[in-house]
Amino acid sequence: MPNTTTVQQSIPRVRIAPSPTGKLHIGTARSALFNYLFAHKLHGTFILRIEDTDRERSTLAYEESIKSGLQWLGLLWDEGPDAGGAYGPYRQSERTALYEKYLQELLDSGKAFICHHSSAEIQQEYEKKKEQKLPLVHRCDQLTGTDEKGVIRFRATEETITFTDLIRGNISVKASTLGDFSIAKSIHEPLYNFTVVVDDHKMHISHVIRGEDHISNTPKQVALYNAFGWTMPAFAHMPLILAPDRSKMSKRYGAVDIQEYRKMGYLPEALINFLALLGWNPGTEQEIFSLDELSEQFSLEHVQKGGAVFNQQKLDWLNGQYIKRLTSEELAQRAEPYLRDVLEGKKFDAALFQRVMPLAQQRMKTLRDIAEFAFFFSVAPYDPALLSWKDTSLEETRKYLEEVRTCIVGLDEAAWDEQRLEVAIMAHANALDNRGKMLWPLRVALSGLPQSPGPFSIAALLGKEQTLERLRTALQLLQ
């Protein structure tokens, strides 16, 4: 019987092991979150390991993107090399001597060998098998060669490989169906299925929690654990994140890079909450969780098997709920960079920004929605025709705006508030056959937009001086 013993530890050690060949995408972030929650619930250790053995595609820029994305989300790792007072990640590129040692051990024992078939020969073999509808695996019959160059392959056995998935139950695979699979391009160039086993063993990883796209890799890794006689970790394969049409998640259905969500104005705590509910169910009606609450309630038993469908409307709703729970001061601090981007160097009034926050807070779904309130600081040029309500002439519109100006110019600035403005202006607007003839041009004059909050709210926040100044500008346009 093959060794299927798994690591049994009351205090777990888990890891997230992204490859720095791309930015931190939403699937990897969700895997990191589930590992983090599992570890922190049981007071365990969460490790970041950078799998950068792909020298051609791995870059430091992508590594920095991964680290900054995890840090922004609040998923800080608990262990690693000293990086100036903080934990740096483990890197496979710094562990090559370790991989060479264990590759040589497999070669010396005969459990691995150097395959001397060329790439062209392997491809030709696969083409024939494809025609015969056979599995595309290689069984090497060329076990000797004139040199030591060639792909290192693990020799297939006839055993049955069995492992227990904590989400999906027992899984069994005939080792022969894996073929003689490659574990290194050379003694100095190990491949993923080999390095991940060595690293997880040496780092005493107790649980491997990852996406279900890795299920096909797991039998190969179990075979290597058996070959070394090592105790393997427990495996848990999460459902993939699917697009609304249940296809694989792609940019077509929304950003997949975590930094893109940050640029779009999503709060990290809202995104964490959203990701947790993609494939995990708390078993209650609760929908809004802090990271600490998620850590307390998370369990692998409540991770579903079926694909988790990405719901953009749910993310927007959650983000809006988190924005509403911020204080005005907190929201102002977070939203200010997004407003400054829109203003592009135009004057920024911090006191006005603080006054606008309560109004904006009720309407915002993302921090970037603060752009809709940029008119408080700078009115963009607009067509004078926009000032007229429906078929009202420009001359009539000018008359109505003059009336508005007349009825508010005498208001005491100390009594300048939304209620008094409404009383003063509505006394005139109600006398018209259509109040829109007066209220529409007032709102456009103050905002420069066809859609905005009500004119009394805008005027109250702008203050008397700015309100009268914008009315003057509108009247000049109508001339």
- Active-site residue set: 251
Cα separation, 441 vs 447, in Å, equals 10
Return d(Cα 360, Cα 101) in angstroms, integer.
Answer: 61
CA distance 89 to 366: 31
Query: How far apart (Å, rounded) are the C-alpha atoms in residues 423 and 427?
Result: 6
Q: Are 236 and 166 in contact (CB under 8 A)?
A: yes
CA 216 to chain centre: 25
Residue 180: half-sphere exposure toward Cβ, Cα within 13 Å: 19
Distance, CA of 310 to CA of 235 (rounded, Å): 24
Distance CA 141, CA 278 (A): 46
Contacts for 381-390: CB closer than 8 Å, 24+ residues apart: 381/448, 382/444, 382/448, 382/449, 384/474, 384/477, 384/478, 386/444, 386/450, 387/440, 387/441, 387/444, 387/445, 387/474, 387/477, 387/478, 388/440, 388/441, 389/434, 389/436, 389/437, 389/440, 389/441, 390/436
Distance in angstroms (rounded) separating the CA atoms of residues 436 and 248: 49
Rounded CA separation 166/170 (Å) = 8
3-state secondary structure of 336: helix
CA separation for the pair 159, 173 (Å, rounded): 9
Phi, psi of 299 (to 5 degrees): -155, 145
Q: How many CA atoms lie within 13 A of 158 on its CB side?
A: 0
CA distance 269 to 118: 51
Can you say whether residue 114 is alpha, beta or left, with left for phi > 0 and alpha for psi between -120 and 50 degrees? beta
Tally the residues of the chain: 479
CA distances from 275 to 23, 47, 281, 343, 457 (A): 17, 19, 11, 32, 37
Question: Amino acid letter at 256?
Answer: V
Distance CA 308, CA 240 (A): 6
Q: SS in 3 state form for 341-368?
A: HHHCCCCCCHHHHHHHHHHHHCCCCCHH
The conformation of residue 384, written as its DSSP 8-state character, comes to G
